[in-house]
């Protein structure tokens, strides 16, 4: 079940996008998201579509693989579309039973759907082309300025990378606990939603206990290896901008100005 | 000069109730005297709850003595400013390989210690390469630790300590969670580090057959050191060991039983199969 979500997973491939500095990719995703909210004109979406398709082609990640990740959030998308479709007032288009679809509602629903889909595709593209470690490194360095506001950037990045490392271990552990409880006669498959969620308690309690124990062990192991926070720490793989990263920034700037320009000039 | 030295070392685990009052005091170490010379291979034996892990944590400055002191390379562990240099000098390997690997790729994990010490990037890579090659894990440097066997994971953990260029490595039951093949791997790695790199090894274990390569063995019970000596000396005191609920290797036991039944030529404290076979041949020839 949990294995099918591609959101936040890495797809191994050799592409220009994979080799980019994670900071560029983070900034790129942010710029792409901003560009989606600049205007509601069709032309702007056309520019964004072309840009997104180019990036997906460049990343060498199969499109079908990306779509698979969307399934998990299909329900949320459907819900927002439905809300926009039925609850916007304006010029009446169709009407049946208690529902009325208005022209404005239809337009809004389509835009929201496209916007959501692009938002998710854009951020999935980033996580698919960036290893979790690169991502946290990029965040630590790219958001380093937040330290001025007393935000513990290094600590948050370290927590994220440890969490990512322990996901597979805890999954394995969950599997073991489920099997152990099943061997003792626990039933996870039958009954209504309340009975089933009650059945989760004997899984979650041992899982939490073991997670805390692991956390304690890990903290000790980190201390034993001289870990003392971000101060005075050097990097094994420091992030250094290369020529292509600069070019990528220029491309991003061009893209953003193009979107703004279209928003101002285009009539629709 | 001793690399590790303890004097009058005692440690209490203090349990407090919700109001912060002391509800029970459990003495885990009692008056431990220990001196380890540079380049030695030391084994500390003991059953569950004998205080051997508590002792290990004192050497790495994770726990601080209630009474007495621990000196690592002439520095007291109880002094705050010594902690980082002590942890670099006396690295520690723990029992569970999964809970001590921090990186999500082997080479990143090995680089974690040097990163914390502030070694510059080029130096980190040199140390990672050198220590992974020493432990025979170089070809796995790009692997995820998840995909490795228990013995391999533990070797990665040791490589992570070796990359910090320690003078002494404390191994706290590094083989307890491994299968026999993994156990052999880890013990072989520990011996190689001692022989070739001249790193002092303090091996904590409850497997008797792992201590036969040690220069000296300490046997602990109830927070005290009960027996000290070479493996041969220790293994010849069979009754005492059994009183402490420690089982000697089968070969040693067999040799002792044979001697009891009349094979007087067999010496005390036989350690390996080969030794037993040789002495049996000798006694057969003289008969």
Q: Are residues A109 and A31 in the same domain?
A: yes
Residue-number span of the structural domain to which B175 is assigned: 39-52+86-246
Residues of A in contact with B107 (CB under 8 A): 236
User: Which pLDDT value is given to residue A51?
Assistant: 93
**Distance, CA of B249 to CA of B235 (rounded, Å):** 9
* d(CA B103, nearest CA chain A) in Å: 7
Distance CA A187, CA A198 (A): 10
Distance from the Cα of B120 to chain A's closest Cα (Å) equals 6
Q: What is the CA radius of gyration of chain B?
A: 21
Low-confidence ranges of chain B (pLDDT < 50): none
Pair B190, B203: CB distance under 8 Å: yes
Nearest to B208 by CA among B157, B251, B171: B251
Rounded Cα distance, B51 and B46, in Å = 8
Answer whether A167 touches B (CB < 8 Å).
Answer: no
Mean pLDDT of A40-45: 86
Q: Are residues B127 and B258 in the same domain?
A: no
Asked if A199 and A242 sit in the same domain, the reply is: no
Residues A67 and A83 both lie in one domain: yes
- Domain assignment of residue B72, yes or no: no
Rounded to whole angstroms, how far apart are CA atoms A247 and A24?
10
Instruction: Indicate whether A14 and A85 sit together in one domain.
Output: yes
- CA–CA gap between residue A19 and residue A130 (Å, rounded): 8
pLDDT of residue A4: 45
Percent with pLDDT over 70 in chain A: 96
Nearest 5°: the CA angle B189, B162, B32 is 85
Q: Domain span at residue A65?
A: 1-130+238-268
pLDDT at residue number B170: 94
One domain for residues A61 and A47: yes
Query: Is residue B79 domain-resident?
Result: no
Per-residue pLDDT tens for B186-218? 999 999 999 998 999 999 988 888 888 899 999
> Quick one: average pLDDT of A87-93?
77
Q: pLDDT tens digit string along A19-41?
A: 899 999 999 999 999 999 887 88
SS3 of residue B202 by DSSP: strand
- Contact call for B98 and A227, based on CB within 8 A: no
pLDDT tens-digit map of A202-225:
889 999 999 999 999 999 999 999
CB A227 to CB B116 under 8 A?
Answer: yes
pTM attached to this predicted model: 0.80
Paired residues of A124 in beta bridges: none
Identify which of B105, B113, B121 has the shortest CB distance to residue A226.
Answer: B113
Q: What tens digit of pLDDT does each residue of A100-139 get?
A: 788 888 888 888 888 888 998 898 888 888 887 788 888 8
Closest-CA residue of A relative to B56 is A224
Chain B interface, Cβ < 8 Å to A:
60, 62, 84, 87-88, 91-92, 94, 96, 98-105, 107-108, 111-121, 124-125, 128, 146, 160-161, 164
Considering the domain architecture, whether residues A119 and A173 belong to the same structural domain is answered as no
Kindly give the pairing relationship between strand B224-229 and strand B216-221: antiparallel
CB contact (8 A) between residue A214 and residue B104: no
Instruction: Kindly tell me if the per-residue pLDDT of A5 is higher than 50.
Output: no
Q: Nearest CB to A233: which of B91, B116, B128?
A: B116
B221 shares its domain with B259:
no
On whether both B144 and B241 belong to a single domain, the answer is yes
């Amino acid at each position: 079940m949990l294995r099918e979500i591609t959101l936040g997973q890495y797809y191994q491939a050799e592409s220009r996008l994979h080799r980019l500095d994670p900071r560029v990719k983070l900034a790129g995703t942010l710029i792409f998201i901003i560009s989606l909210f600049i205007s509601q004109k069709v032309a702007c979406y056309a520019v964004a579509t072309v840009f997104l398709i180019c990036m997906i082609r460049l990343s060498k990640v199969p499109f079908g693989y990306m779509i698979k990740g969307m399934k998990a959030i299909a329900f949320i998308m459907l819900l927002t579309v439905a809300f926009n479709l039925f609850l916007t007032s304006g010029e009446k288009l169709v009407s049946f039973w208690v529902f009325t679809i208005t022209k404005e509602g239809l337009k809004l629903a389509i835009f929201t759907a496209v916007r959501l889909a692009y938002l998710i595709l854009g951020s999935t593209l980033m996580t698919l082309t960036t290893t979790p470690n690169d991502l946290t490194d990029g965040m630590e360095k790219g958001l380093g300025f937040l330290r001025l506001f007393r935000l513990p950037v290094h600590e948050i990045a370290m927590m994220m990378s440890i969490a990512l490392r322990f996901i597979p271990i805890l999954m394995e552990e969950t599997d073991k606990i489920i099997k152990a409880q099943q061997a003792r006669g626990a039933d996870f498959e039958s009954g209504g939603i309340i009975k089933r969620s009650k059945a989760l308690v004997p899984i979650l309690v041992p899982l939490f206990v073991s997670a805390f124990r692991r956390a304690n062990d890990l903290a000790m192991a980190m201390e034993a290896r001289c870990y003392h926070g971000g101060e005075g720490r050097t990097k094994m793989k420091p992030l250094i901008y290369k020529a292509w990263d600069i070019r990528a920034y220029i491309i991003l700037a061009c893209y953003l100005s193009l979107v703004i320009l279209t928003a101002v000039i285009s009539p629709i | 000069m001793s690399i590790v030295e303890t004097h009058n070392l005692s440690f209490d685990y203090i349990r407090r109730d919700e109001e912060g009052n002391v509800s029970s005091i459990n003495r885990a170490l009692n008056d431990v005297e220990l001196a380890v010379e540079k380049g030695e291979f030391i084994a500390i034996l003991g059953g569950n709850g004998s205080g051997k892990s508590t002792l290990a944590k004192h050497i790495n400055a994770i726990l601080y003595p209630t009474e007495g002191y621990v000196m690592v390379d002439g520095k007291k562990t109880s002094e705050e400013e010594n902690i980082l240099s002590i942890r670099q000098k006396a690295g520690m390997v723990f029992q569970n390989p999964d809970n001590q690997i921090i990186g999500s790729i082997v080479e990143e994990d090995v680089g974690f210690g040097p990163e914390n010490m502030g070694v510059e990037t080029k130096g980190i890579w040199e140390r990672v390469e050198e220590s992974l090659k020493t432990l025979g894990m170089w070809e796995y440097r790009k692997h995820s630790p998840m995909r490795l066997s228990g013995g391999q994971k533990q070797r990665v953990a040791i490589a992570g300590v070796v990359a910090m260029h320690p003078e002494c490595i404390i191994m706290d039951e590094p083989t307890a969670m491994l299968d026999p093949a993994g156990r052999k791997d880890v013990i072989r790695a520990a011996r190689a580090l001692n022989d070739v790199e001249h790193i002092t090894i303090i091996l904590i274990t409850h497997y008797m057959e792992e201590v036969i390569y040690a220069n000296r063995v300490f046997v602990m019970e109830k927070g005290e050191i009960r027996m000290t000596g070479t493996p041969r000396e220790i293994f010849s005191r069979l009754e005492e060991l059994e009183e402490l609920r420690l089982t000697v290797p089968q070969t040693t036991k067999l040799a002792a039983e044979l001697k009891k039944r009349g094979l007087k030529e067999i010496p005390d404290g036989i350690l390996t199969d080969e030794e037993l076979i040789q002495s049996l041949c000798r006694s057969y020839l003289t008969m």
